[in-house]
Structures are given as structure tokens and as C-alpha cells.
Amino acid sequence: MKFNKAYSGLIIKLPPSLVNEAWTRLLSRKRNPITKDEASAVNPLVKSFLRHEVNRYQKKLKYQRKSWPIVKNSLYNTDMSNQETQTQNTDPICDHEEEINCQVKKELDSLSRQLLEYNEKTFGSLMQEITKQFEERVNANNKLHSEIEQQKIKLYKAEKLLASLKPQ
């Protein structure tokens, strides 16, 4: 992937991933495809394409900059007037951390056991049926392979017999 040095001013404005993507898109266009040689040389079409990519990238950055303060403010929009009363009424969690972790682990174990039991009840018969069908298909497939092998042996014997009759 090599754009001509004449485009370095445009390429600098794009991140490397977009430069690679632009190169790929330029070479794989459905309408008016360009060869690697044409894309590597000075070409007004390539310059126009790169300008378009830079404009798209800059618009994207501008939109992200505009929308970020909205997101940031909504994430941190809290009422700070009663902050002192909020912090005074909290119990330290660190003292009970091990106890809480133990309770959470027990609950997770219980939930995972329940989920396994539910899945076994719900899908057990389905899995047995699928396994049974699979085994039946494997058996049928093996019978067909055996029959094919027998037919090959018969064909080989017939060819051998024909070959022995031919010179006479």
C-alpha cells in the first residue's frame, strides 16, 4: 500500500487504519476500479477520494466532540447540595467484604446448579433425540460406504474379466 508522496498532506490528517481502509476501498471499487499503479501515481481521482475521506473523518471527530459533553454531563449529573449528609449515613463496606463475597459465591453456586438442572430438564430429551438421529445417520452412512466398497470390488472384478477376454 503506497500512496504517492503528493498526498502526504491529506494522509497525515487520517489515522493509519483509515489510510489502509481507504487504500483497500480505492482498489476494490465496483465502479471505475483503479489499479495499484494508477493509485500509486498522481491521480486527480485519488486526490478527490482522499479529500472526501479526510472530510468524513473530520466530521466524525466534530460530531464526537459535540456529543461527548452531553454524555459526560448525563453520567455525572448528581445533586451535590446534600453531599455531606449522604456521606455521613454510609456504613463502611470493607469490614464485611469477606462475608459479602462468601454470600455472593454461595448464591452464584446455587444459581449455576439451578441453571444446569433446568437445562438438563429442558434440553435433555431434545439432546437424546438429536444424538439418536445422529447415530442413525452415521449407521446409514456406514452401510452406504460398505455398499459402495462392495460395488467397487464387483466393478474391479468385472473390469478384470473384461480385460482378460479382450485379447482373445
Weakest-pLDDT range from 21-30, 90-99, 141-150: 90-99
Q: Above 60 in pLDDT, residue 109?
A: yes
CA dist., res. 41 & res. 5, Å (int): 9
pLDDT at position 82 is: 52
CA dist., res. 144 & res. 59, Å (int): 63
Report residue 38's pLDDT band, with 50, 70 and 90 as the boundaries. Answer: confident
pLDDT at position 31 is: 78
Q: Above 60 in pLDDT, residue 99?
A: yes
Report residue 79's pLDDT band, with 50, 70 and 90 as the boundaries. Answer: low
Report residue 143's pLDDT band, with 50, 70 and 90 as the boundaries. Answer: very high
Q: What is the mean pLDDT of residues 8-31?
A: 83
Q: Above 80 in pLDDT, residue 65?
A: no
Instruction: DSSP for 111-129, please give it.
Output: HHHHHHHHHHHHHHHHHHH
Who contacts 58 (Cβ-Cβ below 8 Å, separation ≥6)?
13
Q: Above 80 in pLDDT, residue 121?
A: yes
Q: 45 with 32: CB under 8 angstroms?
A: yes
Query: What letter would DSSP give residue 79?
Result: -
Burial of 47 (0-12, 13-18, 19+ CB in 10 A): middle
Q: What is the mean pLDDT of residues 27-46?
A: 80
pLDDT at position 150 is: 95
**What pTM value is reported for the model?**
0.39
pLDDT at position 102 is: 87
Quote the percentage of the chain above a pLDDT of 90. 24
